[in-house]
Structure 1
Amino acid sequence: MPEVFRFQEAASALGISLEVLHPHSFDLVVGAADGWSVKYQDREMERPDFILCRTGAETDYFTLALLRHFERRGVRLVNGPATIELVADKLHTLQRLNRAGLPIPRTILGKFPMDAALVERELGFPLIVKTLKGTRGAGVLKCEDRSQFEDLTGLLESAEAQADFILQHYVRASHGRDVRVLVVGGRVVAAMERRSLTGGFKSNVSLGGIGVAYNPPAEMAEIAVQAADVLDLDVTGIDILFDEDGYRICEANSAPGFQGLERASGLDIPTATLEWIVATHGAPDRAPAPAESNALAELLFGGRTGLRAISDRNTDYRRFVSAVGLRMVAAGIVALAHAVLPASLTDRKGRVSLGLHTLFDGRVQANLASLDDAEQERTLLVVLGVAIWAAILPWLAGAEAMPGGCLTALALAFPLLFLLSAPAGRVGKSMSSLLKADWP
Structure 2
Amino acid sequence: MQSRGMTSRSDVTDPTPVVHILHDNAEWLPPLVAALDAAGVPHREHLLDGYAFDLSAAPPAGVFWSRLSGSAHTRGRSTAKEVARATLRWAERHGRRTINGSGVVELEVSKVAQYLALAQAGFDVPATTAVFGTDDLKARAREQTLPFITKHNQGGKGLGVRRFDDLASFDAYVDGPDFEVPIDGITLLQEFLEAEEPFNTRVEFVGGRFVYAVRVDTSAGSFELCPADACVVPDGADPATFAPFAVRASVTAEHPLVRRLEAFVAEQGIEVAGIEFIETADGRSVPYDVNTNTNYNPDVERASSVSAAATLAAWLGRVLADEA
TM-score interval, normalised by the smaller of the two chains: 0.7 to 0.9
2:297 is the alignment partner of 1:259: yes
Q: What residue is the counterpart of 2:216 in the other structure?
A: 194
| CA displacement, residues 274-311 of structure 1 (integer Å, 9 cap, x when unaligned) | 22233355779xxxxxxxxxxxxxxxxxxxxxxxxxxx
Q: What residue is the counterpart of 1:233 in the other structure?
A: 270
Distance in 2 (alpha carbons) for counterparts of 1:160 and 1:211: 30
One-letter amino acid of the structure 1 residue matched with residue 295 of structure 2? G
2:311 is the alignment partner of 1:272: yes
- Alpha-carbon deviation of 1:202? 5.2
- Alpha-carbon deviation of 1:212? 1.1
CA 54–201 in structure 1, closer or farther in 2 if over 3 Å, else same: closer
Selected match of 1:138 from 146, 151, 159: 159
Q: What residue is the counterpart of 1:353 in the other structure?
A: none
Provide the secondary structure at the position in 2 that maps to 1:65. helix
Provide the secondary structure at the position in 2 that maps to 1:28. coil
2:96 is the alignment partner of 1:75: yes
Structure 1 segment 1-16 matched on structure 2, within 5 A = 1-16=26-41
Q: Which structure's CA Rg is the greater one?
A: 1
- Alpha-carbon deviation of 1:180? 0.9
Structure 1 segment 380-395 matched on structure 2, within 5 A = none
Give the number of equivalent residue pairs.
271
Q: What residue is the counterpart of 1:155 in the other structure?
A: 176
- Alpha-carbon deviation of 1:194? 0.5
Distance in 2 (alpha carbons) for counterparts of 1:159 and 1:105: 21
Distance in 1 (alpha carbons) for counterparts of 2:199 and 2:45: 34
CA 202–150 in structure 1, closer or farther in 2 if over 3 Å, else same: same
- Alpha-carbon deviation of 1:195? 0.6
| CA displacement, residues 38-62 of structure 1 (integer Å, 9 cap, x when unaligned) | 4xxxxxxx412x1222222234212
2:123 is the alignment partner of 1:102: yes
- Alpha-carbon deviation of 1:5? 1.6
Provide the secondary structure at the position in 1 that maps to 2:176. helix
Distance in 1 (alpha carbons) for counterparts of 2:285 and 2:161: 20
Provide the secondary structure at the position in 1 that maps to 2:156. coil
Flag the structure with higher strand content: 2
- Alpha-carbon deviation of 1:264? 4.9
One-letter amino acid of the structure 1 residue matched with residue 259 of structure 2? E
Q: Which runs of 5+ in 2 are unaligned?
A: 1-25, 73-79, 235-242
Flag the structure with higher helix content: 1
Q: What residue is the counterpart of 2:203 in the other structure?
A: 181
- Alpha-carbon deviation of 1:230? 3.8
Structure 1 segment 13-412 matched on structure 2, within 5 A = 13-31=38-56, 35-36=57-58, 38=59, 46-48=60-62, 50-57=63-70, 58=72, 59-111=80-132, 112-114=134-136, 119-121=141-143, 123-155=144-176, 163-173=185-195, 176-200=198-222, 203-205=225-227, 206=232, 208=234, 210-215=244-249, 216=251, 218-243=255-280, 244-260=282-298, 261-265=300-304, 267-280=306-319
Q: What residue is the counterpart of 1:306 in the other structure?
A: none
| CA displacement, residues 328-349 of structure 1 (integer Å, 9 cap, x when unaligned) | xxxxxxxxxxxxxxxxxxxxxx
Provide the secondary structure at the position in 1 that maps to 2:67. coil
Q: Does the Cα contact within 8 Å between 2:154 and 2:182 map onto a contact in 1?
A: no
Provide the secondary structure at the position in 1 that maps to 2:43. coil
Q: TM-score, length-normalised on structure 1? A: 0.55
Q: Does the Cα contact within 8 Å between 1:52 and 1:79 map onto a contact in 2?
A: yes
One-letter amino acid of the structure 2 residue matched with residue 251 of structure 1? D
- Alpha-carbon deviation of 1:238? 0.3
Q: TM-score, length-normalised on structure 2? A: 0.73
Greater relative contact order: 1 or 2 (C-alpha under 8 angstroms, separation 6 or more)?
A: 2
CA 139–264 in structure 1, closer or farther in 2 if over 3 Å, else same: farther
Deviation larger for 61-70 or 145-154: 145-154
Identity of aligned residues (%): 20
CA 117–17 in structure 1, closer or farther in 2 if over 3 Å, else same: closer
Q: What residue is the counterpart of 1:395 in the other structure?
A: none
CA 154–24 in structure 1, closer or farther in 2 if over 3 Å, else same: closer
Distance in 1 (alpha carbons) for counterparts of 2:312 and 2:55: 32
Q: Which runs of 5+ in 1 are unaligned?
A: 39-45, 285-440
CA 141–30 in structure 1, closer or farther in 2 if over 3 Å, else same: same
- Alpha-carbon deviation of 1:118? 5.4
Distance in 1 (alpha carbons) for counterparts of 2:272 and 2:31: 16
- Alpha-carbon deviation of 1:154? 3.3
- Alpha-carbon deviation of 1:127? 0.9
